[in-house]
Amino acid sequence: MHLMTLYIGASNMERSEEPLTVNTPEIQHSAVPCHPSLENSTMENLNKQKETVFSLVQVKGTWKRKAGKNVKQGMKGRVSAAKIYESTSSSGTTWTVVTPITFTYTVTQTKNLLDPSNDTLLLGHIRDTEQLEAVRSSTKPLKRFIVMDEVVYNLYGSQVTDYLEARHVLYRILPLPTTEENKSMEMALKILEEVHQFGIDRRTEPIIAIGGGVCLDIVGLAASLYRRRTPYIRVPTTLLSYIDASVGAKTGVNFANCKNKLGTYIAPVAAFLDRSFIQTIPRRHISNGLAEMLKMALMKHRGLFELLETQGQFLLDSKFQSAMVLEDDRIDPASVSTRVAIETMLEELAPNLWEDDLDRLVDFGHLISPELEMKVLPALLHGEAVNIDMAYMVYVAREMGLLTEEEKFRIICCMLGLELPVWHQDCTFALVQKSLCDRLQHSGGLVRMPLPTGLGRAEIFNDTNEGALFRAYEKWCDELSTGSLR
């Protein structure tokens, strides 16, 4: 016993403010093993124990815990935002660690991203002005690893190469066919083998992904895994990724024939949005992106909906290349619509980056479409599948009295105006039911169905009944299976 006191004493000397752990006043010896049905289970004892909260202060390179929640940052050292809570019982000690990790990322609109005089691609992710200066004045050549979707590479590969050459960057460009079918862990690992061979600095040489959503998702996952976190940058080249994939944190690959079953919530350090990439996008893919824009409009923004109603064809025809300032100072629909789409998306994603809350308006159009998309792969593009889902859900909303007939009609007309499919024969009622069943399992036992309650307004519902869903389905097929509105 004497020797033990010495050690406690020694440990005590190191931390004079530490409560002596030996002197726990309320030690409860559970002499009798507790049956789970008894009130006084081991766990309840544990939870009733007094908890001491410790803050963490760094002094001379070492972190020390100090009792108290609000330890003032003083001359002593840096105080962490993390806290440790400690309580002791007869079985031992329980520590609870609470650590906030802050994710910061930038979404930057720019023009002429591949013009060698534009710094953005290489330096746009650096927010700290000092750091930026240091990099600019350094003679050391920059190193960058770039993954490009194959199709994008054929169109823009030489421009990207010219940019990097002109900026004297040590680079490696990896062109890959990034499709929904090969969106797998194997592809992510293949990318990582190349990254590893090339060699990048752990923190200062972000991997750059240039392509559509699939490309950005796969590269994002690869980067998240490498060294447990490697910064990466997204350059979306499709409209869909411009307003959707680039703006949130999600990365992922498909697994066991399910969409995005594996992935992370690690955001890129930055996303660089250059509208000019969209000019080489086929018309069908512009519609595809418009579906996600419409989603945000239906959920949150009447003004955006009306813009898509009236300007949808213009946007399709002009491929979002209309100038920012039009003649007569008219408002440019491309600028406004992309801006509003991103803003509304950021509003919904930023406070729920890791999906702590499973009630998400942005899930609209994503309850049934994953199953449908995977089933008929590659017949439907992602946005097309989303739109079919949304069209059906509009009928559900109508059936539940949330929308008027006029509103329903306007929405479907708008969808057709954007040249999006509003029905699909493979979207059977069985598929609908299966999707909703999966949704239940995937969302903690609640269906959490976002439905429009007006134009540009929505709510989450958990109590949709089978009857309403079926009636809506019948009407939907009845009215839209011919491909146009009867």
> What residues numbered 67-86 form the site for another protein, per CB under 8 A?
80-84
Residue 226 and residue 256: Cα distance in Å, rounded?
Answer: 23
CB 95 within 8 A of CB 108: no
Residue 145 and residue 195: Cα distance in Å, rounded?
Answer: 7
Please report how close the Cβ of residue 327 comes to another protein at its closest, in angstroms: 13
Q: Is the dihedral of CA 89, 91, 93, 96 positive or negative?
A: negative
Q: Report CA-CA distances (Å) from 353 to 224, 272, 367.
A: 15, 19, 19
Q: Which of residues 436-455 bind another protein (CB under 8 A)?
A: 441-445, 450
Residue 292 and residue 390: Cα distance in Å, rounded?
Answer: 10
Q: Which of residues 188-247 bind another protein (CB under 8 A)?
A: 189, 192-193, 196, 199, 201-204, 224-229
Please report how close the Cβ of residue 3 comes to another protein at its closest, in angstroms: 7
Please report how close the Cβ of residue 120 comes to another protein at its closest, in angstroms: 9
Asked if 277 is part of the footprint of another protein (rule: CB under 8 A), the reply reads: no
Residue 49 and residue 26: Cα distance in Å, rounded?
Answer: 8
CB 55 within 8 A of CB 79: yes
**Residues binding another protein: what is the number (CB under 8 A)?**
127
Scanning 255-263, 307-315, 373-381, 477-485 for contacts with another protein by CB under 8 A, the matching segment is 255-263
Residues labelled as active-site residues:
250
68 Cβ neighbours under 8 A, 6+ residues apart? 53, 54, 55
Residue 459: left if φ>0, alpha if ψ -120 to 50, beta else—which one?
A: beta
Please report how close the Cβ of residue 170 comes to another protein at its closest, in angstroms: 14
Q: Of 34 and 376, which has the nearer Cβ to another protein?
A: 34
Q: Contacting another protein (CB under 8 A), which of 167, 183, 234, 250?
A: 250
Site string for another protein, 31-70 (x = CB under 8 A): --xxxx----xxxx-xx--------x-x-xxxxxx-----
CB 420 within 8 A of CB 290: yes
Q: Of 251 and 287, which has the nearer Cβ to another protein?
A: 251
Strands 143-149 and 449-454: what pairing? unpaired
- Look up residue 159 and give its two tokens: 């421009």
Residue 254 and residue 377: Cα distance in Å, rounded?
Answer: 13
Please report how close the Cβ of residue 82 comes to another protein at its closest, in angstroms: 4
CB 382 within 8 A of CB 285: no
Site string for another protein, 376-415 (x = CB under 8 A): ----------------------------------------
Strands 258-264 and 251-255: what pairing? antiparallel
Q: Of 14 and 466, which has the nearer Cβ to another protein?
A: 14
Angle formed at CA 393 by CA 390 and CA 398, multiple of 5 degrees: 130
389 Cβ neighbours under 8 A, 6+ residues apart? 365, 366, 367, 368, 369, 372
Q: Of 461 and 470, which has the nearer Cβ to another protein?
A: 461
Please report how close the Cβ of residue 332 comes to another protein at its closest, in angstroms: 7
Q: Of 22 and 486, which has the nearer Cβ to another protein?
A: 22
Q: Which of residues 319-378 bind another protein (CB under 8 A)?
A: 324-325, 329, 331-332, 335-336, 339, 342-343, 346-355, 358-359, 361
Site string for another protein, 3-22 (x = CB under 8 A): xxxxxxxxxxxx------xx
Site string for another protein, 86-125 (x = CB under 8 A): ----xxxxxxxxxxxxxxxxxxxxxx--------------
Please report how close the Cβ of residue 151 comes to another protein at its closest, in angstroms: 25
CA-nearest of 351, 99, 170, 144 to 248 is 351
Q: Of 101 and 430, which has the nearer Cβ to another protein?
A: 101
- Look up residue 103 and give its two tokens: 């994710």
Q: Of 63 and 314, which has the nearer Cβ to another protein?
A: 63
CB 268 within 8 A of CB 367: no
Q: Of 8 and 379, which has the nearer Cβ to another protein?
A: 8
Residue 365 and residue 296: Cα distance in Å, rounded?
Answer: 10
